[in-house]
Amino acid sequence: MAKASNLIPLIILFTVVGAAAWIGYQIYLWSNDLADRAGKKMEKKNMAFTKEGGLRVGVKESSDENVGDKQQNVLYNVWNNAEMPAYKSRLGWNSAQTDPDKKRSA
């Protein structure tokens, strides 16, 4: 029969190996969870890693209607904010813009 004093080092060995295995398993779970969260966050930004290790970035689709609306908005703003100081209408249009000489004498 084995004495109890001969079993103590074996029990300590199993305890240390078991603790190391548990810590390693927890690190494995944490790293997989971190990779999943990073993947989901990258999917939201339309980015993905290829099999070769490169990064593929996608472009969000925008409809033709949205693009047309943005272009029309830009043209509308440019048209409304444009000034033509040398333009004098014979019909009286553009009367809000006066000559710079008249502004100085007033």
**Cα 78 from Cα 72, distance rounded (Å):** 10
**Total-model pTM:** 0.44
Q: Is 46 left (phi over 0), alpha (psi -120 to 50) or beta?
A: left
pLDDT in tens, the chain (106 residues): 567 788 899 999 999 999 999 999 999 999 999 989 988 888 777 777 777 878 777 777 777 788 888 889 988 888 887 776 666 667 766 566 555 555 544 4
- Given a contact cutoff of 8 angstroms between Cβ atoms, the answer to whether 48 and 42 are in contact is yes
Scanning 1-106, the segments in alpha helix (DSSP H) are: 4-44, 64-81, 100-105
